[in-house]
Amino acid sequence: MNKKFWKSLFVGLLLLLPSLGWSATYYVTETEQGGGGGAAYATSDSLATFNTGAAPYDNLDDDTVYFCDTIRGTITVPDGGTDGHVVMLRGDYPDHAGIITGADEIEEWTIVGETNVYQAACDWTARVLIEDTTLMNFKTWNTDIATTDLSVGEWTLDTTGDLIYAYCSDGLDPDTHTMQVGVRGQAILINQSYVTVSDLLTEGSNEADYGGNIFINGAGHPGNVIIDNVESRWSANSGIAIGVNDTYYTSGSITIRNCTLHHNLKAGFAAVEDVGSTITEPSLIQNCTVYNNLGDGIVSSSNYWTIENNLVHDSGFFGLEHLGIHIYSPASDSGVGFNNTIRYNKVYNTVGGSQDGSGIGIDQWCDYNDVYGNIIYHSDGPGIYLYDASYCNLYNNTIYESCLDSAGDLISPGSIRLTGTGTNTNIKNNNVYSTETGDYAIFVVSTYFTGLVITNNNWYRATGSWYWYNTATGSDLATWNAFTEVGTDLNSDPLFTNAAGGDFTLKYNSPCEDAGFNLGSSYDDAFDPRDTTFPYDTVDQDLYGSGWEIGAFAYLGGLSGIVRDWDGNILTGGAKIYAYEISVAAEVATVLDQGYVGSATSNSTTGVWMIDNIAEDEYMVIFEYYGTHGGKSKIAGAEFMSSIDIGVP
């Protein structure tokens, strides 16, 4: 063998090393190398060194970088990975959790006269002020501090005098608190592809226009970026933002999952004119908790996004036009707002006014979107609002108590509302309970009639008109079902288990059981009523009952559990099960729920049934089994009705 052979072999091995999983781990702090916390952490570099992209940060394939402790600065990711060789940016180094903040502490406050207002120097345009762990409310400057007239929890900015003013929540000197003011535009800026960011807390960014605490900047056309288990709060803009415009967009899938996005001045999550996702590389926002953001909870002007299993609540601001989940396009030729899926989310307490405050909205020029399996309740505007959107499907959504109109200026009633001009819209299997004066369970205008199909829904309102059809209003089901665009809908109390408490599972004998339309395998999953923690598990509706349910929850009926006697023997067909609410003092029992094990008339079917959705300390179970009565009390001190007890595993 000659030298050329050995040289070629050596070069080949070098090229092969990345694919063999060789990787490195680095540690970054704010300003200094070192800082204690173990041998590995003691070798940390500064954020400035990392951001320059100098070696070793110029080639990060397969590498992990831990960001340790509080870092007041912006992480600018210097290098991306490749397919199969991802760059990992983490904040969960033990005892040194990473906090990346766009804010700086501000001190040396002085009192203004004999008031509770204090001032400090601030020679930049600050947009957020945080008192300890609370975002203070901004009040616009009005000539001088006296006429601006701050109240408890408010702050203002005099840009002419380079002064910031604050009235703390306890009226005391801000120097007795930790006061942080927004300085930098972002906490993390990502221009690279194949990057995963996880287990970090980001906060306090000061960007006014585009961006957020985490900004995936479309200028670099990044793709295959994952943001996982990140908390983002107190941004002057959004918690997490993507894109910028139709020139700056991503080049592949983006995944946002398991994140908590809250108390941001605009949206919790925003994708702005992002056209990078495709049918083969879709993007995802999943299992996120999004709350108390003053703009939309989740807003996307993008294509091929799936928005699923998110808990979105208390979005918007009193009297302003915001939504819980919002698909929109800025113009008819923007090419965004298409082919998105919004499913299995729970959206409530959306605040807004005028035309908005909706739980979910598909806006003008946004076509080919699916909205299904969502729970939407307590919204100032419609539960679901379609405006000038075509080829959209609304399936198996549960909507309750829409159009609360807390601002008193609502001009768009309708728990499901279709206005503007749209074509080829399908509305099936939705369970809608309207409660508010002036609201309608369904509101549709004639410019939506082309290709419109409405069937197998349940529209309910206890009193008054529940539908608006073009200009006609009414409450007669036969009249509604006779309209050309309508098939066979229901108008009955859906018998939710506890709507006031946010439990929209179906009681026994609900008219919505087995009354839905079979939409095919793409839509056959519904929430499992046995799961009490969101995000709920789903079950295949084809496996339970004689048909699909109307609404977001399946009703498992005879198939939700196995009923056994207290010795563990399975009870088969013919056993009838009751759940009673017992008042021991009054010695009365009220039937809460009932159902059959297997068939009520045949003993040939293996029994599978369970009493659901009743608190353990509030009921007893009583059954008839081939004429034998038995029961199990769930109330201390109450007597069994016989010696035969049952258990529900």
pLDDT reported for residue 318? 60
Separation of alpha carbons 542 and 539, rounded Å:
9
Q: Does some domain include residue 31?
A: no
Mean pLDDT within 67-95: 95
Separation of alpha carbons 431 and 423, rounded Å:
22
pLDDT reported for residue 585? 37
Q: Which one of 138, 165, 182 terminates a domain? A: 182
Separation of alpha carbons 422 and 389, rounded Å:
5
| Structural contact between residues 346 and 534, judged by C-beta atoms closer than 8 angstroms | yes
pLDDT reported for residue 405? 85
Mean pLDDT within 331-349: 95
Phi, psi at 470, each rounded to 5°: 60, -100
525-535 pLDDT tens trace: 999 987 889 99
| Structural contact between residues 316 and 352, judged by C-beta atoms closer than 8 angstroms | yes
496, with CB counted inside 10 A (0-12, 13-18, 19+), is: buried
Q: How many domains does the chain have?
A: 2
Mean pLDDT within 40-52: 84
* Tokens found for residue 157: 């900015």
Helix (H) or strand (E) holding 241: strand 238-243
378-394 pLDDT tens trace: 999 999 999 999 999 99
Separation of alpha carbons 253 and 48, rounded Å:
29
| Structural contact between residues 248 and 277, judged by C-beta atoms closer than 8 angstroms | no
Q: At 249, is the pLDDT very low, low, confident or very high (cuts 50, 70, 90)?
A: low
Mean pLDDT within 99-125: 95
Phi, psi at 522, each rounded to 5°: -70, -20
What is residue 285's DSSP assignment?
E
Does residue 497 have a pLDDT over 80?
yes
pLDDT reported for residue 33? 57
Separation of alpha carbons 608 and 649, rounded Å:
11
Query: What SS3 class is residue 618?
Result: helix
Cβ atoms < 10 Å from Cβ of 312: 30
pLDDT reported for residue 421? 95
Query: What SS3 class is residue 4?
Result: helix
Mean pLDDT within 219-224: 84
Q: Does some domain include residue 594?
A: yes
Q: Does some domain include residue 540?
A: no
* Residue bearing tokens 């203004």: 112
Query: What SS3 class is residue 82?
Result: strand
How many Cα atoms within 13 Å fall on the side-chain side of residue 190?
30
Instruction: Give the residues across from 543 on adjacent strands.
Output: none
| Structural contact between residues 229 and 198, judged by C-beta atoms closer than 8 angstroms | yes
Q: Does some domain include residue 283?
A: no
Q: Which one of 182, 216, 248 terminates a domain? A: 182
What is residue 553's DSSP assignment?
B
pLDDT reported for residue 301? 93
Is the model more confident about 567 or about 159? 159
Is the model more confident about 10 or about 379? 379
The region of weakest confidence among 228-232, 323-327, 331-335 is: 331-335
Q: Does some domain include residue 227?
A: no
Q: Is the pTM of this model over 0.75?
A: yes
* Tokens found for residue 230: 């990140």
Q: At 565, is the pLDDT very low, low, confident or very high (cuts 50, 70, 90)?
A: very low
pLDDT reported for residue 617? 36
Separation of alpha carbons 354 and 142, rounded Å:
27
Instruction: Give the residues across from 49 on adjacent strands.
Output: none
166-185 pLDDT tens trace: 999 999 999 999 999 999 99
Q: Does some domain include residue 154?
A: yes
Average pLDDT, the chain: 83
What is residue 424's DSSP assignment?
S
Separation of alpha carbons 261 and 184, rounded Å:
19
Q: Are strands 179-182 and 129-131 parallel, antiparallel or unpaired?
A: antiparallel
610-638 pLDDT tens trace: 333 333 333 334 443 333 334 433 333 33
How many Cα atoms within 13 Å fall on the side-chain side of residue 258?
9
- In 292-357, DSSP assigns E strands to 298-302, 305-308, 311-313, 325-327, 341-343, 346-348
Per-residue exposure over 518-542, b if at least 16 CB sit within 10 Å of its own CB, e if not: ebeeebbbbbbbbeeebbbebbebe
390-443 pLDDT tens trace: 999 999 999 999 999 876 767 778 999 999 999 999 999 999 999 998 899 999
Q: What percent of the chain has pLDDT over 90?
A: 67
Report residue 585 CA to chain centroid gap: 43
Q: Are strands 576-583 and 588-596 parallel, antiparallel or unpaired?
A: antiparallel
The region of weakest confidence among 207-211, 465-469, 537-541 is: 207-211
pLDDT reported for residue 546? 84
| Structural contact between residues 150 and 167, judged by C-beta atoms closer than 8 angstroms | yes
Does residue 216 have a pLDDT over 60?
yes
The region of weakest confidence among 273-277, 400-404, 447-451, 499-503 is: 273-277
DSSP letter for each residue of 489-522: -B-S---EEEGGGTEEEEPTT-TTTT-S----GG
Does residue 20 have a pLDDT over 60?
no
Domain span at residue 586? 561-647
Q: At 463, is the pLDDT very low, low, confident or very high (cuts 50, 70, 90)?
A: very high
The region of weakest confidence among 44-48, 152-156, 430-434 is: 44-48
Could you tell me which residues come within 8 angstroms of residue 562 by beta carbon, excluding any fewer than 6 positions away? 570, 607, 608, 610, 649
Query: What SS3 class is residue 220?
Result: helix
Query: What SS3 class is residue 110?
Result: strand
Q: Which one of 119, 151, 182 terminates a domain? A: 182
Q: At 319, is the pLDDT very low, low, confident or very high (cuts 50, 70, 90)?
A: low
Cis peptide before 56 (omega within 30 of 0): yes
Mean pLDDT within 89-116: 94
Separation of alpha carbons 350 and 376, rounded Å:
9
Separation of alpha carbons 579 and 422, rounded Å:
47
Separation of alpha carbons 409 and 354, rounded Å:
5
Q: Does some domain include residue 140?
A: yes
Q: Does some domain include residue 405?
A: no
Could you tell me which residues come within 8 angstroms of residue 430 by beta carbon, excluding any fewer than 6 positions away? 394, 395, 396, 397, 398, 399, 416, 457, 458, 550, 551
Q: What percent of the chain has pLDDT over 70?
A: 78
